[in-house]
Structure 1
Amino acid sequence: MKQHTKHILQIIVIAFAVTMIFSCQDNYSEIQKLSYTKRFPVGEAENMFLVYTDSGKVKSTLRSPYNKDFSNQKFPFMEFPNGIILNFFDENNNKSVVTSDYAILYSDTRLVDLQGNVVLTTHDGNVLEAPQLYWDQDKEWIFTEREFKWSNEHGVLLQGTNGIDFNKNLTIIDAHEIYDSTIPIEEKDK
């Protein structure tokens, strides 16, 4: 009987020790939660539509199914966790379109970080695809340090791994490193 009581006592001690271990882990996770500063948006919007004008002329429009406004942070930003459709217009009102799965607009720097299946299509048939692009609104300059694929209606194709910089009309382009390019040449009858 002594042996049986000793065995039961050991089981109780082990159960108590296991309970204490899990209890400590729960307390530790609670302490971690307290030390983590959560970011709460000052506002949220569904089916958002923004229009940016300059001197009475529409320069760009932005659509997003969902937006979080973090203008209450030290470095304010707007987050678009479900992606955006950005239309921007040149001086002749020609429309170019950028789409992405996710975006952040940093208010102070006016820099837009586009992520996930980013596609830029210009009014004249240029198409740039990348996993991430940055758009500097003030300089009207687009860039990435990641891989990219650029093509146009004539079939010109550039692919690179270390980024590309260009203006919004894709008329000034600086590809950092190209690993593949195709340029079609028309054959003329002799």
Structure 2
Amino acid sequence: MAQSLCKIIRLVLISAGMISCESNINEVRKINITEFNPIGEAQDFNLKYTDSGKIKAILISPQMLDYSNLEFPFTEFPKGVDLTIYDDQQNKSFVTSNYAISYTNSNIIDLSGKVKITTHDGKILETEQLYYDQSNEWFFTQKTYKFTDKGNVINGIGIDFSKDFKTLDTQGITGVYGI
């Protein structure tokens, strides 16, 4: 009988311990959840960037989320961007994507989802993801792309190029490009 009583007491103690641990586990889980809320939000965002009295860019987006309060700050455009860029002669080039995120510390912009760049002189680049290094004014991707210039089409996987398309580094290309 003493052994049965010991087993019952152990079972009761283990059950009580497990019940108290259950609430502690839930508390520990809550500790590991990071608050990930934007510090600011803008709807129907329309930003005009000017320099020396001239418009340099117009950025339009249905939604902008500002996460500049985080250790690795960024700005997110979850519903995409529509960007018009003006060169020194006021020629317009256009950039669109379904999603964009700009990382403050690294000066990298990640564009994804039907990314399309159309330059003022008719060059078109289309891909599913494209990065832009703002510091070096350089675009790059390792995704498939389609580049069109004066009727010539290049398809490939992986491309790097300067913001003015004067320097192109293509990888894995197919198609014919005439000069």
TM-score relative to the length of structure 1: 0.76
Q: Deviations over 1:7-58 (max 9, x none)?
A: xxxxxxxxxxxxx9xxx6x986774344121211111010001122333332
Structure 2 distance, partners of 1:184, 1:38, is 53
Q: Does the 8 Å contact 1:155/1:182 carry over to 2?
A: no
Alignment correspondent of 1:37: 34
Deviation at 1:143, TM superposition (A): 1.1
The residue matched to 2:143 in structure 1 has which SS?
Answer: coil
Alignment correspondent of 1:139: 136
Matched, 1:182 2:179: no
Q: What letter matches 1:115 in structure 2? A: S
Structure 1 distance, partners of 2:134, 2:47, is 15
**Percent of aligned positions with the same letter in both sequences?**
46
Structure 1 distance, partners of 2:105, 2:161, is 22
Matched, 1:59 2:56: yes
Matched, 1:77 2:50: no
Matched, 1:166 2:161: yes
Q: What letter matches 1:116 in structure 2? A: G
Instruction: Identify which of 105, 127, 140 aligns with 1:130.
Output: 127
Alignment correspondent of 2:7: none
Structure 2 distance, partners of 1:99, 1:27, is 48
Instruction: Identify which of 138, 144, 148 aligns with 2:145.
Output: 148
Instruction: Identify which of 26, 47, 50 aligns with 1:50.
Output: 47
Deviation at 1:106, TM superposition (A): 1.3
- What CA RMSD, in Å, does the superposition of the two structures yield over aligned residues? 2.4
The residue matched to 1:67 in structure 2 has which SS?
Answer: strand
Higher strand share: 2
- For structure 1, the 5+ residue unaligned runs are 1-19, 186-190
CA pair 100-166 structure 1, distance change in 2 beyond 3 A: same
Structure 1 distance, partners of 2:176, 2:130, is 23
Alignment correspondent of 1:7: none
Matched, 1:110 2:99: no
Deviation at 1:86, TM superposition (A): 1.1
Deviates more, 1:49-58 or 1:100-109: 49-58
Matched, 1:89 2:86: yes
- For structure 2, the 5+ residue unaligned runs are 1-17
Q: Does the 8 Å contact 1:110/1:136 carry over to 2?
A: yes
The residue matched to 1:72 in structure 2 has which SS?
Answer: coil
Equivalenced residue count is: 162
CA pair 135-101 structure 1, distance change in 2 beyond 3 A: same
